[in-house]
Amino acid sequence: MRQAGRSLPEYRALRERHGFFEIAGTPELCAEVTLQPVRRHGVDAAVLFADIMSPVLGMGVEVELVEGVGPVVGERIDSAAAVEQLRVSEPEEWAAPILEAVRLVRGELEPDRALVGFCGGPFTVAGYLVEGRPSRDFVRTKTLMYREPETWHALMERLTEQFARYVAATAATGADAIQLFDSWVGALSVSDYREFVAPYSARVLGAAGVPTIHFGTGTTTQLLAEMAAAGGSAVGVDWRISLDDAWTVVGEERAIQGNLEPAVLLGPWERAEWAALDVLRRAAGRPGHVFNLGHGVLPQTDPDVLTRLAELVRSYGHAA
């Protein structure tokens, strides 16, 4: 349950006193908010508290996470000169507090619960850097890709190197799995994905050294197949596609994470329960199903509904 913290009063209380990157940069606070959803909902995994933009702070980029908007970048990275300015750096230099938080969390978490580290997909993060803020159509990003392919590849090269080092360090420090969030990859055609994105995502996934989850949203079956080919022990799918159809596309030997519509949790419990059971029925007891929402938890979600959902999924597992 990504961004589950947003719906929790205990997270909000902490956020009133501390900035986002202040929490992520203070090992004790970072460990605390990482563990909050596990304590409350009893889920099987903790998601390390950071943001997909955290590694670019280490590259010298100014980023602000604006509530209700998303990441906003100080100056757009949309030219060869701007890309030149991006520094690739050792995680020990810029991510020491996050790595310390990994140690703290791993020390507190029961051995049978996983700690999931993550990074953004190079495409999704490049999109924020080139656009300067969240975008629907990624027009500036695509313009750069088509008009200045060398600049695009240089940007992807640097992001990939930074993310590969980061996920390797996170895993080596104690994360049990790494998730790559290529959240906005659905904006791309299949052939552009193959040419401009897939080799970079593959490199980051290949650097983790632990099981990986490769996630995107708005992914057509063709794009999902390309993402599966690029890598990931598991493929994460959003709610737009039925889980069983997605499984046919990525192949039975692959695990799947997904894919309850997050907004259904805002409706009556009976509807949420039906939708969750539908996901579980479509997974049909396959061993490689990681039950999850198809995207992040919406901030309006009642935390008690999340707890109830976690209980439902657990009891279904036991009954099967």
Q: Which of 100, 104, 83 is nearest to 91 (CA)?
A: 100
The one-letter code for the residue type at 92 is E
The answer to whether the Cα torsion of 209, 239, 296, 122 is positive or negative is positive
Nearer to ligand CP3, 98 or 151 (CB): 98
The answer to whether residue 17 forms part of the interface with ligand CP3 (CB under 6 A) is: no
Number of residues engaging ligand CP3 in binding (CB under 6 A): 22
Encoded one letter per residue, x for contact with ligand CP3 by CB under 6 A and - for no contact, window 198-237 reads ----------------------------------------
The answer to whether residue 180 forms part of the interface with ligand CP3 (CB under 6 A) is: no
Nearer to ligand CP3, 32 or 151 (CB): 32
Residue choice 166, 181, 200, 247 for contact with ligand CP3 (CB under 6 A): 181
List residues bridging with 257 in a β-sheet: 236, 290
Q: How far is the CB of 98 from ligand CP3 (least distance, A)?
A: 11
Q: CB nearest ligand CP3: which residue?
A: 183
Residue choice 141, 160, 183, 201 for contact with ligand CP3 (CB under 6 A): 183
The answer to whether residue 239 forms part of the interface with ligand CP3 (CB under 6 A) is: no
Nearer to ligand CP3, 50 or 95 (CB): 50
- Residues 278 to 317: which contact ligand CP3 by CB under 6 A? 295-296
- DSSP code per residue over 2-65: TTGGGG-HHHHHHHHHS-HHHHHTSHHHHHHHHHHHHHHH--SEEE-S--TTHHHHTTT--EEE
Q: How far is the CB of 277 from ligand CP3 (least distance, A)?
A: 23
Question: Reduced to 3 states, what is the DSSP secondary structure of residue 151?
Answer: helix
* Cis amide prior to 292 (ω within 30 degrees): no
Nearer to ligand CP3, 94 or 215 (CB): 215
Instruction: For residue 109, count other CB atoms closer than 10 A to its CB.
Output: 19
Name the one range near ligand CP3 by CB under 6 A: 1-9, 152-160, 248-256, 262-270: 1-9
- Residues 104 to 163: which contact ligand CP3 by CB under 6 A? 118
Q: Is 248 in contact with 283 (CB distance < 8 Å)?
A: no
Determine the angle formed by the axes of helices 149-173 and 96-108, rounding to 10 degrees: 40
Q: How far is the CB of 182 from ligand CP3 (least distance, A)?
A: 8
CA-atom Rg of the chain in angstroms: 19
Longest Cα separation, the chain: 59
Alpha-carbon span 12 to 34, nearest angstrom: 13
Encoded one letter per residue, x for contact with ligand CP3 by CB under 6 A and - for no contact, window 67-106 reads xx-xx-----------------------------------
Name the one range near ligand CP3 by CB under 6 A: 64-72, 106-114, 254-262, 301-309: 64-72
Nearer to ligand CP3, 50 or 243 (CB): 50
Q: Which of 114, 122, 288, 292 is nearest to 210 (CA)?
A: 114
Alpha-carbon span 268 to 140, nearest angstrom: 41
- What residue ranges bind ligand CP3 (CB under 6 A)? 2-6, 15, 20, 47, 49-52, 65, 67-68, 70-71, 118, 181, 183, 295-296
